[in-house]
Amino acid sequence: MTLLIPTAYLPPVSYLGAVLQAGSVVMEYFETYQKQTCRNHCVIYGPNGRQVLSVPVSKVNGNHTLTRDIRISGQRGWKQIHWRSIETAYNNSPFFLYYRDYLEPFYFKNHPYLIDLNLDLLQSLFQMLNAKVDISFTSKFETHPDGVTDCRQTAVSKHITSAFNIPHYHQVFEPAHGFLTNLSALDLIFNLGPEAISYLQKLDVKPVFEPAALA
């Protein structure tokens, strides 16, 4: 099975599970950019509960800008905020110190384009998981592509959480706010460490593979 996915910033558990379980993966480069999705958002578990981190972006061609052309606006303030938020959220998690060096350098680099930042971070997540995933890229936009499972819409909405069966795992602030489902895969990796790959490979990702389930 070939999975067609959008780009995503530190994507949710369901996204990463679907990617790891797919036979092959194709990333969409030529769609018109959609705001208010995981393309430039991620959700972590902060001291006060669910916390959304957003990468500021600039649409060079207005509402007709392709995702591949979306530029990151501002290279300093947001990076400091994101990294400090991640540190605050996960400094006491079992595996943060073990994995932080995979992640921290990206918050001191300059990525002009969102899609490049997202891809580099995704590859870093694969390294944390000790997983090898080959990703190819679209050469044009197709509304109804043949021969692929199209998850460009269902995999990334930052508002979709309850549709996925995300089994319980321990979270740092769970005693205060309960278990929060389908957060950024960072939450899973920092809390489960080497066990995260097995968790993701066993995850029920049917809501991703079956778009009607999210209608």
User: Residues of the chain whose pLDDT is less than 70?
Assistant: 75-76, 155-164, 207-215
Q: Which amino acid is at 116?
A: D
Q: In angstroms, rounded to a whole number, what is the distance separating the alpha carbons of residues 181 and 162?
A: 7
Provide the pLDDT for residue 165: 77
The Cα angle at residue 178 between residues 172 and 184, in degrees rounded to 5: 60
107-143 tens-digit pLDDT? 999 999 999 999 999 999 999 999 999 999 999 999 9
- Listed by start position, the domains of the chain span 2-214
Ranges of beta strands (E only) in the chain are 2-5, 24-27, 41-46, 49-54, 57-58, 71-72, 135-137, 149-150
Q: What pTM did the predictor assign? A: 0.91
**What is the pLDDT at residue 130?**
96
Cβ contacts of 8 within 8 Å, gap of 6 or more: 15, 37, 38, 39, 42, 118, 122, 155, 156
Per DSSP bridges, beta strands 24-27 and 2-5 are: parallel
Q: What is the pLDDT of residue 40?
A: 94
Per-residue pLDDT, 36:
82
Please tell me the distance from the alpha carbon of residue 85 to that of residue 44, in angstroms, as a whole number.
9
Helix (H), strand (E) at residue 177? helix 174-177
Q: Looking at residue 212, what is its pLDDT?
A: 34
38-49 pLDDT tens trace: 899 999 999 999
DSSP 8-state assignment for residue 95? T
Are 156 and 15 within 8 A, CB to CB?
Answer: yes
- Can you give the pLDDT at residue 7? 94
CA–CA distance, 106 with 100 (Å, rounded to integer)? 11
